[in-house]
Each structure stands twice: as structure tokens, then as C-alpha cells.
Amino acid sequence: MSESSVPHRVDVVVVGAGLAGLTAARELTAVGLTVQVLEARDRVGGRTVNHTIGEDAVVETGGQFVGPTQDHILRLAASVGVATFPAHDIGSSIYVKNGRARRFAGGVPPDPTSLPDVGMLVARIDRAAKQIPVDRPWDAPRAHEWDTQTLATWARRHAATDGGVELLDILLGSVFGGTAADVSALFGLAYVAGAGNEYTPGTVDRLMSVAGGAQQWRFHGGSQAISIVLAEQLGDAVRLDTPVRRVEQYPDRVVVHSDTESWVARSAIVAIPPVLASRIDWSPALPAPQEALFQRMNFGGLAKCEAVYPEPFWRTSGLSGQALFRDSDVPVSSMFDNSPPDGSHGVLMGFVGTWGARHRGGRNWSDGNEFERRGEVLRAFASAVGPRALEPTEWIELDWTREQWTRGGPTAVLPPGVLTGLGRWRDTAFGRVHWAGAEHSDYWNGYMDGAVRSGQIAAAELLSTEGEHSWNNAS
């Protein structure tokens, strides 16, 4: 038998080296268990990715923002020495509608045809969200009614004009990577309900805002720095370029197989997107309803595009660098100032999602060549902050729909009928296999905080079931 065919023996195998998997591994090693983290990519961090600009400045091409009530990611970051700084929020924002740019302050643009509807819709969403138990949304009094319609249908029933619904789509574009027509009303309302913590109800404003909201802070050194430090602390317990292909379960153990090696463990934590977890070869097979749920937890379609400039020139014009776009020819839904905290470079970041593609005759933005993609986004930036935006010194883009080990972004979204029919199976342990990942969190689902929460919960559940006794200490 070759060395590679001899199974390794550990207490727990963790599949996935994103924030959820690394957090779970940290919790387990802290009590003395041996852990092997297996990551398919050639890096750690999952949906957090740093990109270096200049000599040592960093921008993020994945998840990056944190805010109040995201207590778990903030505590974890502080514990590994990664500090926060305020996201830039000084100056006027820009609302671009049909090629015309208008300045505004606050989170909602002053569109006279839509503003009253948006204000009313936001208030109705917040009221409805308060009726939803965050940990079991299918038990909400109107759960089945809301889960038989899309969020767009629900919104139209409470709006006087289509303009309010369209503006709601823009606001949600970077949250879901899709539109209100893509998600169940129950899912959308539950998502808002989870934009808080055990003591603070979720609201649309907290979900969407910079000051006081989910976009209030960024991390020094980029959000991926947290995972990099965690992986360094775990050392050889983290293996890269090791996709898991098969998981076998037995009464007293699990066996996890990559292409060339195997690991025998007491238990496993699978911390990858549910749709990818469903594609692992399971023996025995996943319970049918759990497999059906995971297969339906498809991600939205989102890309992040960033243009780098010698300086954040828009600030001298009193602009914040933030913009919302409502134009059938613009693929960008929203824009932010993503410059380093010292202002050594100016960086504009835009979210490009299926909202933009769908409103341009169905052609996918990512189907164009790089010159076309770049040009469309830069023209959108220029419509908001002026022609200097057309001439960046560097261009960065990451289309998450083309990432093999993610398949979309920023999070999994559920269409009508799934949450009430299958939602109970989302976090149900499968024998000795426990689940983690941002999509397995009740609060801040799809966010970095949700990922950390889920890793902590999965580790705690495993320890409560299996105990802290290590195989290595067996007599």
C-alpha cells in the first residue's frame, strides 16, 4: 500500500477554509482535538479575497464590510489583531437615473416618482420582518402566504408605482446579487429580520446603510487577513488544493476522500456553499429533503469591479464616492469609495449583478470581453463622479459566478416554496456530519458575521454530541 493510500487519522475533518471552517477548527483545537481543514482552493478565506495595489495597500474583491450587531466577526478580528477603520462616508452620494446624475444625502435617493413608495415599502418590510422568528421563519404567522410569492410581487401589492419596486431592486442588488423577483417574499423578509442580533431587531436601514449599518467599517489589511492569521495559527492542520470528493459515514467514524488521500475522523464539519456540498459523493446519500434544499440554494450573480486612481479625486468635489444607478444601459447597481484608509490611492468599487444584465436585453455582462466589461463599468463611474473616472491606473474585477468553488455571490437566495417546504433541513446534522458556512446562520446570513457564527455553532454542536475526548488520548 502506498503512503498516499494510508488514511490519516484525526478527530475532526473540516471541509472548507473560509471564515466558517477556520473558526470551527479554531474552536475545536482550543479544547485539544486534532483537526484537518481541507480547502479546494490554493488560498484560504473563501469569499474574502485581498488584492494588493501599489506597494502594500490592499483592496477587497470579496466580502469586506462590517457594522453594528455583527459582534462575532468583530470579536474574532480583534482577537487575531485585525483592526477596523471607517468606510468612507463623507460627502454627497449620487443617484444616476436615465443618464442624469443628482446629488443626495442619506441612504435613499430623492426620486420624486419613487421616494414615497420606497419609504412606505421599507416601513412595511420592517414591520413584516418583526413577525418572523429568525431561527424558524417557516413558523411566522403568514409564512405560507409570503412563501408563495416573490418579494417583487409582495412589494407591488404595497406600492403605488413600479418605480418604488425598481428602486428597491437597486437597493437589494448588491445584497442578493439579483432582484426582488428572484427571491421568495418570506426569504427576503427573513433576511431583513436577521440583520441584527439577539437583542436588536433587523431593519432595512441596517442592512443597507453605511453609517450605523452593515457597511460602516472595513478591516485594516483587508478582510482576508483574518483567515490568513487563523490559518497561520492552525499551521499544518490546513491543507490547500485538496477538494473533497467523497464522504463515507459509519457508526463510529467518517472517512473523507480527496483525489489522492483519505482521512478517518470521529466527525466532520462541512463549511462550503450548500450547493457545492450537495455535489460531494455521499455514502450513505444525504437525506432527500436536505439534498433537495442544498441544490436549490443557488447563489446570486455578482461581480465586483474596482478602478484604481492616483488619488480619490471625487472627494475634492464634495462627493462620497457612493452612487446608485437606475439606468437600463448600466450594469452597475451601486458604487462605493474603496480607497485605502490613508488615501494613498483612490479606488472606486462597483457591484455588477444580474440586475444590470437583466435590464440590458438579457445579455450577461460577463459574456463581453475585458475591454467591453471595463468600458461599461467605467462609463457608469464617470456618470457619477466625472470623466477622470475613465482613466484608472489599474483595473480589478472578480466575477464570482465564474469561481469554481463558489459559483456565484454574494449569498444563496431562495425562490418561493423552498423555505416553508425544506428550510428545516438547512442546519440538521447528517449523522456525524455538521454544517457551517454563512448560509447556515440565522443572523447576518450570507455575511462574514454569519460565517463566524455558524462555525462557532457547528463546533459547539459537535462537542455537545461527541465530547472533547480526543482519539489521540484513547488508551
Both 173 and 255 in a single domain? no
Both 198 and 244 in a single domain? no
- Distances in Å between the Cα of 292 and the Cα atoms of 80, 351, 436 are 38, 30, 18
Q: Are strands 433-435 and 267-270 parallel, antiparallel or unpaired?
A: parallel
The whole-number pLDDT of residue 355 equals 45
Query: H or E element: which one contains 85?
Result: strand 84-86
Of 429, 369, 342, 399, the C-alpha closest to 86 is 342
The whole-number pLDDT of residue 369 equals 87
Flag whether 99 is in a domain. no
What phi, psi does 34 have (nearest 5°)?
-90, 135
Both 391 and 309 in a single domain? yes
Inter-residue contact 257 to 422 (CB < 8 Å)? no
Both 331 and 272 in a single domain? no
Flag whether 75 is in a domain. no
For residue 141, which amino acid is it? P
Flag whether 408 is in a domain. no
Question: Exposed, middle or buried by CB within 10 Å (0-12, 13-18, 19+), for 349?
Answer: buried
Q: How many domains does the chain have?
A: 3
Taking the C-alpha atoms of residue 464 and residue 52, their distance in angstroms, rounded to an integer, is: 42
Taking the C-alpha atoms of residue 21 and residue 452, their distance in angstroms, rounded to an integer, is: 8
Both 421 and 293 in a single domain? yes
For residue 198, which amino acid is it? E
Q: Which CATH number covers residue 130?
A: 1.10.405.10
Both 283 and 419 in a single domain? yes
Both 304 and 264 in a single domain? no
The whole-number pLDDT of residue 422 equals 99
Both 276 and 305 in a single domain? no
Inter-residue contact 17 to 39 (CB < 8 Å)? yes
Parts of the chain with a pLDDT under 50: 1-3, 355-360, 475
Domain boundary, last residue among 358, 374, 402: 402
Q: Which CATH number covers residue 305?
A: 3.90.660.10
What is the full DSSP assignment across 284-348?
A: SPPPHHHHHHHHH--B--EEEEEEEESS-GGGGGTEEEEEEEE-TT--EEEEEE---TT-SSEEE
Of 26, 406, 9, 3, the C-alpha closest to 230 is 26
Q: Which CATH number covers residue 31?
A: 3.50.50.60
Both 393 and 252 in a single domain? no
Both 440 and 398 in a single domain? no
Is pTM beyond 0.75? Reply is yes
Q: What is the dihedral of CA 245, 39, 434, 22, to 10 degrees?
A: 170
Inter-residue contact 307 to 321 (CB < 8 Å)? no
Query: H or E element: which one contains 381?
Result: helix 370-385
Inter-residue contact 195 to 442 (CB < 8 Å)? no
Flag whether 329 is in a domain. yes
Both 272 and 248 in a single domain? yes
Flag whether 146 is in a domain. yes
Domain boundary, last residue among 162, 183, 207: 207
Domain boundary, last residue among 354, 375, 402: 402
Flag whether 432 is in a domain. yes
The range of the structural domain enclosing residue 142 comes to 113-207
Of 95, 87, 101, 107, the C-alpha closest to 387 is 101
Both 123 and 155 in a single domain? yes
Taking the C-alpha atoms of residue 399 and residue 407, their distance in angstroms, rounded to an integer, is: 9
Flag whether 64 is in a domain. no
Flag whether 63 is in a domain. no
